[in-house]
Amino acid sequence: MYNFRIHPLFIVLAVFLGVKGQTIFLINSTLTVLLHEMAHARMAYGRGYILNRIVLMPYGAVLYGEEKMRKNDAIIIALAGPLFNLFVAVVFFALWWLIPELYVFTDTFVYANVSVALFNLIPVFPLDGSRVVLALSKNKTKTLKALRIFGIIISILLFTFFIYSIFTELNISAGVMAVFLFFGATSGSQKEMYTHMSQCIKSTKNIMNGAEEKTIYVSEKIKPIKLLKMINENSVITFKIIDDNFNILKVMHEDELKDFLTKTK
């Protein structure tokens, strides 16, 4: 069962596109991104995870969940959305050969699925391509930083193209994608960042070759991001949070780090 929510700004965008006579574009794009996120959710469920809260945003849809994923599962779930969009596009493309009359009614939908699939495979935060790269990366801190910078660059290029299209042939998709990438790369929540960086903590352990048990004392003033940098595949860490007088305030195993990070502002 999916829990659907609509962001208020999505309603604003819907009204704007309606006034501009882009209702068909809105319907096809909305249906496409919903199929995309539901494919993610269904694949996650099939592999033992629960990701079922879908929020329609002005730049697309976002799927939420608080699951820790193994590396292979994270990759498969990330690819499920784009691959399903491509599957839908192929099915409708095949129908055009059988029933050519359908082309007039479904061409926009097919193009929307292809665009969303290819767009999400770009390795920039927060797209699905970045999830694959993060799952494969050993240094998630540096990787995420690079993905965010790349996202800003791509968003600027897309927005430049959108501005150019205003004076030639208006391309609303370029503008929407530019906003989506820029928002995700610059204004994405710190909670979301930490979730991406910590979700593969368990899957990185090299248990077959042995992992050393460590206890690390850290100041209560430490930046949460530094705790992630201390985790590696060759050790299992217990953090002891202390004050200036070396009094222990909290004892935390690295498995608990995700909850700690996502609650930290």
- Mean pLDDT per block of 10 residues along the chain (265 residues) reads 66 74 79 84 78 63 60 84 92 86 81 87 82 80 81 90 88 77 67 50 53 83 72 76 86 72 53
My answer on whether 193 and 209 are in the same domain is: no
Indicate if 219 and 167 belong to the same structural domain.
Answer: no
d(CA 119, CA 104): 24
Are residues 150 and 177 both part of a single domain? yes
Query: Alpha helices, DSSP H only, in 47-139?
Result: 71-98, 103-120, 128-136
What is the model's pLDDT at position 241? Answer: 87
Which tens digits make up the pLDDT trace of 98-146? 888 878 777 888 888 998 888 888 888 778 888 888 888 877 767 877 8
- The verdict on whether omega for the bond into residue 100 sits within 30 degrees of 0, i.e. cis, is no
Asked if residue 101 and residue 21 are part of one domain, the reply reads yes
Could you tell me if 80 and 13 lie in one domain? Answer: yes
> Are 33 and 61 in contact, with CB atoms under 8 Å apart?
yes
192 and 211 belong to one structural domain? no
* C-alpha distance from residue 7 to each of 58, 60, 65 (Å): 7, 10, 17
Chain centroid to Cα 203, Å, comes to: 19
Compute the distance between CA of residue 176 and CA of residue 28 in angstroms, rounded to an integer: 14
Q: What pLDDT does 86 receive?
A: 94
What pLDDT is recorded for position 25? Answer: 77
Rounded Cα gap, residues 236 and 215, in angstroms: 9
Residues 220 and 113 both lie in one domain = no
pLDDT at 94: 87
What domain range includes position 123? 3-198
Instruction: Give the count of domains, the chain.
Output: 2
Q: What is the pLDDT of residue 58?
A: 57
- Amino acid 68: pLDDT: 61
> Do residues 218 and 103 share a domain?
no
Same domain, 51 and 92: yes
Position 56 scores a pLDDT of 66
Separation CA 126–CA 188 (nearest Å) = 8
Asked if residue 112 and residue 221 are part of one domain, the reply reads no
**257 plus 228 within the same structural domain:** yes
Distance CA 164, CA 33 (A): 26
Q: Which of residues 198, 232, 248 is at a domain's end? A: 198
Are residues 52 and 136 both part of a single domain? yes
Q: Could you tell me the pTM of the whole model?
A: 0.66
**Domain boundary residue among 173, 198, 223?**
198
Picking from 175, 198, 221, the residue at the C-terminal end of a domain is 198
